[in-house]
Amino acid sequence: MSFDNKLKDYFASVNIKLSGKPAEHLTHIYADYVEIVSLFSNQNYVSTSDILDRFRDEGIITKKKKDDEQASENDKNEQWINTIFQIVNEREYLYTADYPFDILGNNKIKLKSQDQLTDKNRLYIFLLLASSLNVFGLFESELTSEFELVCYHALAKYLPSHATVKSFGKNSEYTGSATEKIIKLASDLKVKVNDDFLNKISAKGNQERGLDIIGWISFSDDVANHFSLFCQCACGKEWYKKITETRRYERYYKFYCNKPSHAMFIPYSLINFQDSDFYQADELGTDTLLFERKRILNYIEDFTFFNALDSKKLVDDCIDFEEDVV
């Protein structure tokens, strides 16, 4: 099916559901859902009571059998929804002009008008869609592949101009089997391969073995002692399960006197504005550089590549969609 046909099919029968119930403490995930509802509500404000009703309709919040228990449960649920909206409010302060939503009175949110939306606002919406594959599963291949491209450009801007940045995943310039790709990258990095581990890879496999983007800063000599950053990109809710995948390259390659650093790119908004740390920090580990929504957004300045993506069409269609689903 062509991408344009996917768009037609999707918007002919939009069905926004959270799909499953993330743990209640993952309030940033629920905040994303509030933003998706607001996106599709267009210029209509979405309130805490609207979200409370949706959660009841979807079975995320269930009714108690006893009336005395229900009163206490109602108070608890309202407090939980308020906590979710608190994160939405914090995002307005965190992202400032890059935030594509307006907040009214701490308990209402709506999409900015089209004439107010900037390229950064649209990129924010793309990252929001990429973190909501449960809602946009029809476009998973485009969102995940093009998320890697966005991450590539963010990393290229983050590293100094004399660094080398290359795609190794779905958009790789390296061809052939996984083994052949790994050997070609070794040549670029000026490192030796470890045949004992490389021989354990299937000769028929052509997957990237957990590496999506790589950046390194070379010296003018041929000594393979330099800074390198091995990056994994993940859009799924369980992104943390992929966090160690790039570390297998420490076995494929014989790094000289300096191991590589590792980074994780995710489209989620994980910065805890109040505490100046990350949500789900316990999943991150102690030696991973994290690029989440805010950090990625900060390092994209040229939007030429983004405006040519299929996912940009999806973003535009979501913005244009006017049906009130609340």
At 163-190, the pLDDT tens digits run 999 999 888 889 888 899 999 999 999 9
Check if the beta carbon of residue 56 is closer than 8 Å to that of residue 49.
Answer: no
Residue 307 inside a domain? The answer is: no
Whether the pLDDT of residue 50 is over 70: the answer is: yes
Of 324, 300, 318, 275, nearest to 120 (Cα)?
300
Of 140, 118, 112, nearest to 303 (Cα)?
118
pLDDT in tens, 266-278: 999 999 988 889 9
- My answer on whether 72 and 146 are in the same domain is no
Check if the beta carbon of residue 265 is closer than 8 Å to that of residue 215.
Answer: no
Place of tokens 């608890």: 76
Per-residue pLDDT, 275: 83
Output the six-digit token pair for 159.
């590293």
Residue 325 inside a domain? The answer is: no
- My answer on whether 68 and 80 are in the same domain is yes
- My answer on whether 128 and 157 are in the same domain is no
- My answer on whether 224 and 92 are in the same domain is no
Expressed as residue numbers, the domain containing 66 is 3-138+312-320
Question: What mean pLDDT do residues 231-258 have?
Answer: 93
Choose from 71-80, 83-92, 284-293 the range with maximum mean pLDDT: 83-92
- My answer on whether 33 and 129 are in the same domain is yes
For residue 217, the domain's CATH number is 3.40.1350
Cβ-based burial of 187 (10 A; exposed 0-12, middle 13-18, buried ≥19): exposed
- My answer on whether 111 and 19 are in the same domain is yes
Q: Which residues neighbour 1 within 8 Å (Cβ) at sequence distance 6 or greater?
A: 9
Domain count, the chain: 2
- My answer on whether 150 and 121 are in the same domain is no
Which is more confident, 178 or 310?
310
Residue 53, φ and ψ in degrees, nearest 5: -65, -40
Question: What mean pLDDT do residues 55-74 have?
Answer: 74
- My answer on whether 25 and 96 are in the same domain is yes
Question: What mean pLDDT do residues 89-115 have?
Answer: 95
- My answer on whether 109 and 190 are in the same domain is no
β-strand partners of 261 = 229
pLDDT in tens, 185-225: 999 999 999 999 988 887 666 566 689 999 999 998 888 89
- My answer on whether 120 and 173 are in the same domain is no
* pLDDT band per the 50, 70, 90 thresholds, residue 8: very high
Question: What mean pLDDT do residues 15-30 have?
Answer: 85
Question: What mean pLDDT do residues 149-161 have?
Answer: 97
